[in-house]
Chains A and B, each alone.
Chain A
């Protein structure tokens, strides 16, 4: 992906882009702005733009970012900076959570919203797993259904800078320490979403359990749900091409 910057009210925000065609804003997950098979496949027919969110990657945690509400309002500043409202957004993991929080605050920011294994809603079942309590390798392993793919991804990230890894964890902790990865008020306000919404979920997700998808689907009018068997939270890696295809046809359908 090409590195670029977005001017957000005078501040330079690092971003990555790939492909050409209609713009898709991609909000990255808890592991920061990171290339993945889904992005690649999506970039075959779209210009995909992935900004680095405050507190992740190389971006330090700003003092003003106290909770996901601030991340969402920053996201809306980003939308204004990018232009072309209403945008098509794809949000993964914590980025999916932020996208949903943006959509309830500004229902006209997005034409479509594709949420891939979004955090933000508390699972009716106990997580039984705490990504903050385990090593980065174990945390990554728990994102995958397929153990071999997990080991390959661990190897691929072996030389990742420890600074970035720690920064990503810090950003996630700021937004999702208590309650873990959730805003308990979110279901109450999801009715405000106007964007056509697609939910993509792996059946074996230990970070954002699949039973959360029913809550999103219940509260967002007309939301479609696509679930993937034998797939973990790392959906963009485990089923990247399939999910990109599904999103591409969803976007085409929404434009008609």
Chain B
């Protein structure tokens, strides 16, 4: 198994009462709540945590993109990736992902990734996403074009990375008379592409198609939902006539370890509950699901189930649903290995810093995870374990 450290870079100093007052940490929470002096220290701290992950032997360090929110301070994740390209030595640098529909010039993104690939010595993983609904408000991007812009920007970037230029690109949303990438990426044929999602069927089908076979990452999901997304991926692959490798599936999960189960739960409770109840609270369901962002059918399903159900999360509920991992090293290790056998993923993305978790607690958990959990995961044969569980 490949084990990665995933950082969301939250504004950890946020006053939760302010989120309550403005009913959200996204788009409408006034940025007077961001203290630049604290922000500077947080960036410093978070970069050190990502660098520590590299030193501790994690296979990858992962960052992502969100705009106008206390949830994460990475509107431009490639800037963080550029800093990490110089300060980390071995770990893959995974940008999970860039929200393609929001950008008007995908060529610039292809160029940025190509540069990052060189700066990092070929360690870049490019994640592509549509961006969550709120991003369409904060970026003034028309959500009714979200799907088609994702597919089209993706096609353009892939061609720019792989096809000899100059060539012209004629799309519905993007038109370029001259595509001729300097530099070309270092990795051949191109940096790996990963697709993070919360389980949209359309995304699973697209990622699993045999001409792509992209690594699909399931994020923030109850265990049954994650399981069914991975099953769906396998079914699509089977229909396309191939058997997917474990490395085509990744599970991203908030993770915390302490010496004992009781201690872990006691430490994490307030942070994880504030995270799920406040930092992932959107101003409205409508801002989470803007018109045309998903099909009417999936919009209705999501309206009915997911986002309402998440209100008033408690640590017990989150653990029970398998949305988070929390406990002693043994508890967490056993749970990951059992889940791997059932789900078949080959990448674990441990989110070892969540919300307001302070530096000391984060570092303790990271070190404990690296010394007591990670070795067993790395030694674990994903394919054999999954087949055994299946039989």
Give the chain A neighbours of B290 by CB distance below 8 A: 132, 173
Q: A133-B284, A133-B286, A166-B291 are in contact. Are A173 and B143 (CB under 8 A)?
A: yes
Contact A177 B284, beta carbon cutoff 8 Å: no
Among B285, B292, B303, the residue within 8 A (CB) of A170 is: B292
Chain B, Cβ-Cβ closest to A169 = B291
Contact B299 A166, beta carbon cutoff 8 Å: yes
Q: A135-B284, A135-B286, A173-B292 are in contact. Are A61 and B137 (CB under 8 A)?
A: no
Indicate if A167 sits at the interface (CB-CB under 8 A).
yes
Contact A170 B291, beta carbon cutoff 8 Å: yes
Indicate if B361 sits at the interface (CB-CB under 8 A).
no
Q: Looking at the assembled complex, report how far the CB atom of B146 sits from the nearest CB atom of chain A, in whole angstroms.
A: 10
Q: Looking at the assembled complex, report how far the CB atom of B308 sits from the nearest CB atom of chain A, in whole angstroms.
A: 12
Indicate if B140 sits at the interface (CB-CB under 8 A).
yes
Q: Mark B296-318, 1 if CB is under 8 A from A, else 0.
A: 10011001000000000000000
**CB-CB contacts below 8 Å: A62-101 with B:** none
Q: Mark A127-170, 1 if CB is under 8 A from B, else 0.
A: 00010111100000000000000000000000000110011011
Chain A, Cβ-Cβ closest to B148 = A63
Q: Mark A194-229, 1 if CB is under 8 A from B, else 0.
A: 000000000000000000000000000000000000
Q: Mark A164-195, 1 if CB is under 8 A from B, else 0.
A: 00110110111001100000000000000000
Q: A170-B144, A173-B291, A177-B144 are in contact. Are A132 and B299 (CB under 8 A)?
A: no
A16–B144 Cα distance when bound, in Å, is: 27
Give the chain A neighbours of B283 by CB distance below 8 A: 133
Contact B286 A174, beta carbon cutoff 8 Å: no
Chain B, Cβ-Cβ closest to A173 = B291
Give the chain A neighbours of B143 by CB distance below 8 A: 173, 177
Chain B, Cβ-Cβ closest to A174 = B144
Indicate if B383 sits at the interface (CB-CB under 8 A).
no
**CB-CB contacts below 8 Å: B143-164 with A:** 143-144
Contact A178 B141, beta carbon cutoff 8 Å: yes
Chain A, Cβ-Cβ closest to B289 = A166
Q: Looking at the assembled complex, report how far the CB atom of B24 sits from the nearest CB atom of chain A, in whole angstroms.
A: 10
Contact A132 B286, beta carbon cutoff 8 Å: yes
Q: Looking at the assembled complex, report how far the CB atom of A178 sits from the nearest CB atom of chain B, in whole angstroms.
A: 4
Contact B140 A178, beta carbon cutoff 8 Å: yes
Give the chain B neighbours of A132 by CB distance below 8 A: 137, 286-287, 290-291
**19 pairs of residues in contact across A and B, judged by CB atoms under 8 Å:** A130-B137, A132-B286, A132-B290, A132-B291, A133-B286, A134-B284, A134-B286, A135-B286, A166-B291, A166-B296, A166-B299, A166-B300, A167-B296, A169-B291, A173-B142, A173-B143, A173-B290, A177-B143, A178-B142
Give the chain B neighbours of A173 by CB distance below 8 A: 142-144, 290-292
A172–B144 Cα distance when bound, in Å, is: 10
Q: Looking at the assembled complex, report how far the CB atom of B150 sits from the nearest CB atom of chain A, in whole angstroms.
A: 16
Q: Looking at the assembled complex, report how far the CB atom of A130 sits from the nearest CB atom of chain B, in whole angstroms.
A: 8
Q: Looking at the assembled complex, report how far the CB atom of A69 sits from the nearest CB atom of chain B, in whole angstroms.
A: 14
A61–B286 Cα distance when bound, in Å, is: 19
The prevalent SS among residues of B at the interface is: helix
* B interface residues, Cβ below 8 angstroms from A: 136-137, 140-144, 283-287, 290-292, 296, 299-300, 303
Contact B286 A162, beta carbon cutoff 8 Å: no
The prevalent SS among residues of A at the interface is: helix
Contact B285 A174, beta carbon cutoff 8 Å: no
Give the chain B neighbours of A174 by CB distance below 8 A: 142, 144, 292
Q: Looking at the assembled complex, report how far the CB atom of B288 sits from the nearest CB atom of chain A, in whole angstroms.
A: 10
Give the chain A neighbours of B292 by CB distance below 8 A: 61, 169-170, 173-174
Give the chain A neighbours of B284 by CB distance below 8 A: 133-135
Chain A, Cβ-Cβ closest to B28 = A133
Q: Looking at the assembled complex, report how far the CB atom of B131 sits from the nearest CB atom of chain A, in whole angstroms.
A: 14
Could you list 12 further interchain pairs (A-B, Cβ under 8 angstroms) beyond the known A132-B137, A166-B300, A178-B141? A132-B290, A132-B291, A133-B137, A133-B283, A135-B285, A162-B303, A163-B300, A166-B291, A173-B142, A173-B144, A173-B292, A174-B142
Give the chain B neighbours of A172 by CB distance below 8 A: 291
In the A-B complex, the 5 residue pairs with the smallest Cβ-Cβ separation, listed nearest first, are: A169-B291, A173-B291, A177-B142, A170-B292, A170-B291
**CB-CB contacts below 8 Å: A104-135 with B:** 130, 132-135
A177–B291 Cα distance when bound, in Å, is: 10
Contact A163 B142, beta carbon cutoff 8 Å: no
Give the chain B neighbours of A133 by CB distance below 8 A: 137, 283-284, 286-287
Chain B, Cβ-Cβ closest to A65 = B144
A61–B303 Cα distance when bound, in Å, is: 21
Give the chain B neighbours of A162 by CB distance below 8 A: 300, 303
Q: Looking at the assembled complex, report how far the CB atom of B312 sits from the nearest CB atom of chain A, in whole angstroms.
A: 20
Give the chain B neighbours of A163 by CB distance below 8 A: 296, 300
A255–B303 Cα distance when bound, in Å, is: 51
- A167, A173, A174 — most chain B CB neighbours (10 Å): A173
A120–B296 Cα distance when bound, in Å, is: 26
Contact A61 B144, beta carbon cutoff 8 Å: yes
Chain B, Cβ-Cβ closest to A131 = B286
A133–B284 Cα distance when bound, in Å, is: 7
Give the chain B neighbours of A134 by CB distance below 8 A: 284, 286
- B143, B291, B299 — most chain A CB neighbours (10 Å): B291
